Amino acid sequence: MRLTDEDMHDFVTQVQDILQLEQVHEMKNYIQHGKTTTYTHCMVVAYYSFLITSHLPMKLDTKSVARGALLHDFYLYDWHIPHESHKLHGFVHPGFALTNARKYFTLNSIEEDIIEKHMWPLTLLHFPKYKEALIVCIVDKFCSLAETLYLPALPKDYKRIHQQISSWKPIQ
């Protein structure tokens, strides 16, 4: 299953302002799982989450899914390097990501829920409130496992996404 040209245009349009921010591209400097950068991980989670929500037979906020998923790991540090501030990275990084996302973007409640609750069930008491957040949470687990085991997780459309955004210049 792939995004149609129209769906791809919608996806890219909905995250365009995020992808134009220079700080978002800093995620390219950090490894998430295996050899996958945090930027690539977030793009892949956003793509698959958008794809799934676009094809489910219920009304879901695909824009919030794409945006929240793209920002869900916007914490901007290398969690592999021990540091007191993120000693319990799995538990604390959603808060750092949410703080950074709020600093640069106006978020709605679904986007905030996606970012804040994506680590469930590790963060047992932080169950996703919205269906969109639960979908991103599940997709994140799938992608994280694939990346950790070095399994191919990049969508076939990944190059097409980059072709559409490669002409954009990040803004400061």
The answer to the question of residue 153 being in a domain is yes
DSSP the chain: ----HHHHHHHHHHHHHHHTBHHHHGGGGSEEETTEEHHHHHHHHHHHHHHHHHHSSS---HHHHHHHHHHTT---S-TTS--GGGTTHHHHHHHHHHHHHHHHS---HHHHHHHHHTTTTTSTT---SSHHHHHHHHHHHHHHHHHHTT-----TTHHHHHHHHTT---B-
The answer to the question of residue 83 being in a domain is yes
The answer to the question of residue 58 being in a domain is yes
- pTM beyond cutoff 0.75: yes
Q: What is the pLDDT of residues 98-135, one digit of tens each?
A: 999 999 999 999 999 999 998 877 676 778 999 999 99
The answer to the question of residue 37 being in a domain is yes
For residue 24, give its domain range: 5-160
The answer to the question of residue 168 being in a domain is no
Indicate which CATH number applies to the domain containing 45: 1.10.3210
Q: What is the pLDDT of residues 35-86, one digit of tens each?
A: 889 999 999 999 999 999 999 999 999 999 999 999 999 987 665 566 565 5
The answer to the question of residue 147 being in a domain is yes
| Domains in the chain, number | 1
The answer to the question of residue 165 being in a domain is no
